[in-house]
Amino acid sequence: MPAAGRELGAGREFAYTEQDFERVRGMIYARAGIRLEASKFNMVYSRLSRRLRALSLSSFRAYLDLLDADDAQEWQPFTNALTTNLTSFFREPHHFEVMERYLAEHGRRGAKFRIWSAACSTGEEAYSIAMRVVEHFNSWTPPVQIIASDLDTTCLDTAAAGVYPLARLENLPPAQLKRFFMRGRGANEGKARVRQDVRRLVEFQQLNLLSNAYPVEGVFDIIFCRNVMIYFDKVTQRKVVERLAARLRPDGLYFAGHSESLLHVSDTLKLVGQTVYAHAEQAEHMKRIYR
């Protein structure tokens, strides 16, 4: 029986049933680890309708059969349509303060600092890191490598372009706007672009946190993995955190989202500050610095 309030068919452009919804839930979980709640029935319809229209299909069943038939081309738009990409510049600002403390604590050293924004959405997180790093070292060529990755290729395109509506920059101080952005003209009126000097500090790439082998090399000083674990169940969270922990330097820092706790998820990483984690062996020492 459909849950109360769920209109099946009535007034809809495409045929859509509870069974279709359950199929979508199973597919996105298997592919991206994303647990869609039962309440997302209507959201799924509206997000995927665009794809059905683009492919001139009349029912969700036909669309899902096409995905099941392993039409590789459609898996990416399907995934892109179902991710939630909410983000902003300098979201959860305390992490950027802690990052600066880490950079100051470790001073200048031979190798570059490596920072990973592991679910970067449309790039605001990675560019916030880059801007803060430029400010910290007062240099356009800071000794830092920033990798930013996401599953969603539409987000990654936006991130690489680095063009944002001015409304998304409202909370940035004027000095930062002036130093790091260029105002758009003509067709780009009402938008601003992150300056090339900042854009070239970030390498964007596609990466599924669920995959067994991450296509990024080496270990990182700091990993930002914020506001993505909330979409995963505990089993997936454990797997992902262990894989990320294996990529974190012994004295590195892991930043989680404001509502994400690794308390029952990881024995490897321990809380050392507000949603800031470090390797368990280093936790007591790190707490004294980053709490």
Ligand X SMILES: C[S@@+](CC[C@H](N)C(=O)[O-])C[C@H]1O[C@@H](n2cnc3c(N)ncnc32)[C@H](O)[C@@H]1O
Instruction: Decide whether 86 or 104 has the Cβ nearer to ligand X.
Output: 86
Which of these is catalytic: 31, 47, 101, 243?
A: 47
Which of these is catalytic: 20, 51, 91, 150?
A: 150
Query: Is residue 36 within 8 Å of 25, Cβ to Cβ?
Result: yes
Is 195 a residue of the active site? Answer: no
How far apart are alpha carbons 246 and 268 in whole angstroms? Answer: 9
Q: How far is the CB of 47 from ligand X (least distance, A)?
A: 13
- Return phi, psi of residue 115, to 5°: -125, 135
Note the Cα 149 to chain centre separation in Å.
7
Binding site for ligand X (CB under 6 A): 32-34, 83-87, 91, 119, 121, 125, 150-152, 155, 208-210, 226-228, 231, 257
Q: How far is the CB of 192 from ligand X (least distance, A)?
A: 19
Nearest partner of 140 among 102, 196, 221, judged by Cα: 196
Q: Find the helix or strand (DSSP H, E) in which 218 lies.
A: none
> Distances from the Cα of 49 to the Cαs of 44, 53, 57, 60, 116, in angstroms?
8, 6, 9, 8, 34
Instruction: Decide whether 198 or 207 has the Cβ nearer to ligand X.
Output: 207
Q: How far is the CB of 76 from ligand X (least distance, A)?
A: 11
Is 152 a residue of the active site? Answer: no
How far apart are alpha carbons 52 and 42 in whole angstroms? Answer: 15
Instruction: Decide whether 14 or 252 has the Cβ nearer to ligand X.
Output: 252
Q: How far is the CB of 2 from ligand X (least distance, A)?
A: 28
Q: How far is the CB of 6 from ligand X (least distance, A)?
A: 25
Q: How far is the CB of 28 from ligand X (least distance, A)?
A: 9
Instruction: Decide whether 35 or 179 has the Cβ nearer to ligand X.
Output: 35
Which residue's CB comes closest to ligand X? 87
Instruction: Decide whether 32 or 253 has the Cβ nearer to ligand X.
Output: 32
How far apart are alpha carbons 254 and 224 in whole angstroms? Answer: 6
Enumerate residues 6+ apart whose C-beta is below 8 A from 224: 95, 115, 116, 117, 118, 125, 129, 255
Residue 272 DSSP SS3: strand
Sign of CA dihedral 128, 130, 133, 139: negative
Instruction: Decide whether 228 or 269 has the Cβ nearer to ligand X.
Output: 228
Full DSSP string of 20-57: HHHHHHHHHHHHH-----GGGHHHHHHHHHHHHHHTT-
Count of positions (residues) in the chain? 291
Q: Give the catalytic positions in this structure.
A: 47, 150
